Amino acid sequence: MMEPLSRLKTLLGKSSRLVVLTGAGISTESGIPDYRSPGGLWEKYSPVYFQEFLRDENARELYWLQKKELYEQFHAVKPNPGHIALAHLEKTGKLLGLITQNIDGLHQEAGNSAAKVLEIHGNSRITICLSCRSEDPWEKTHERLLKGEKAPRCLSCGGLQKPATVSFGEPLNTDTLNWAREWSESCDLMLVVGTSLVVEPAAGLPRIALLSGAALAILNLGETPLDAEADVVVRGPAGTVLPGLISA
Ligand SMILES: [Zn+2]
């Protein structure tokens, strides 16, 4: 029997419609903690739910205070060799798309084009008006926070401004989800990287791929509920394993 790494390499070589699904594990190597792990962000902050954000100015101010602090902690993080290897996959023409649970924007910064990346939980580097949907880069909104605004509103329509991430209690974007399902149905290989596959809806996408006849490869440090059904499981850090697989 072939070593898991050689099997994964063979699968990647054969694939012509590859979909990659990434989670927090790929970004921990860039220094972003997994917020669900012990010592993670939500042990420090109590999350503001979307409904509270909509109805209560105090909740909005608390929310923005948290986001401002997170931004100041994490805005300088850079893509790691794992992100860069995945960006290289797009250049090979095999990549149907990359679906991520992460909100850090590091896949695009590594070189993946926006059209190939679906961010099912949104992107923390953009702020959006909940009324007219106009977008600003985080830096612009951050300037306003530094000047003393506590819960910024849209400069064109006065609507509530919010980072373009999905909050607790906020519905996911239906179009994004539909695309993610469509890619999962159309791929010939799904490569799962750095996610333990316990959080829906991302956890369901590899099942869709399997049911549609695709091969499934899992690269993660820990076990996942789909290991037994995967064609290959590699245990290891994405930043070390992926560059060896993809550049060679
Ligand atoms: Zn607006």
Per-residue pLDDT tens for 86-145? 999 999 999 999 999 999 999 999 999 999 999 999 999 999 999 999 999 999 999 999
CB-based contact 115:40 (threshold 8 Å): no
For the cut 70, the answer to whether the pLDDT of residue 43 exceeds it is: no
Distance 112 CA to ligand 1 centre (A): 29
For the beta carbon of residue 138, count every other beta carbon within 10 angstroms: 20
Distances, alpha carbon 20 to alpha carbons 51, 145, 188, in Å: 32, 36, 11
* Active-site residue, 88 included: no
Q: What is the pLDDT of residue 46?
A: 80
Distance 29 CA to ligand 1 centre (A): 36
Residue 228: burial class (beta carbons within 10 Å; 0-12, 13-18, 19+)? exposed
CA separation for the pair 242, 248 (Å, rounded): 10
What is the rounded average pLDDT of the residues 21-31? Answer: 92
Distance 163 CA to ligand 1 centre (A): 13
Looking from the CA of 113 toward its CB, the CA atoms found within 13 Å total: 8
Q: What is the pLDDT of residue 246?
A: 85
Q: What is the pLDDT of residue 247?
A: 66
What is the rounded average pLDDT of the residues 198-216? Answer: 94
Structure tokens at 136: 């600003």
Q: What is the pLDDT of residue 56?
A: 97
User: What residues pair up with 99 in beta bridges, in sequence order?
Assistant: 21, 118
Average pLDDT of the chain, as a whole number:
92
Least Cα distance to 29 among 70, 85, 69, 71 occurs for 85
Q: Which helix (H) or strand (E) holds 105?
A: none
Tell me if the pTM is above 0.85.
Answer: yes
Residues 54-70 have pLDDT tens digits of 999 999 999 999 999 88
For the cut 80, the answer to whether the pLDDT of residue 36 exceeds it is: no
For the cut 60, the answer to whether the pLDDT of residue 39 exceeds it is: no
Distance 202 CA to ligand 1 centre (A): 30
Structure tokens at 160: 């509530």
What is the rounded average pLDDT of the residues 30-37? Answer: 71
CA separation for the pair 208, 151 (Å, rounded): 40
Residues 145-159 have pLDDT tens digits of 999 999 999 999 999
Distance 164 CA to ligand 1 centre (A): 13
How would residue 71 be classed by pLDDT, with cut points 50, 70 and 90? Answer: confident
How would residue 38 be classed by pLDDT, with cut points 50, 70 and 90? Answer: low
CA separation for the pair 67, 85 (Å, rounded): 29
Catalytic residue (one of 83, 107, 121, 142): 121
Least Cα distance to 104 among 186, 18, 165 occurs for 165
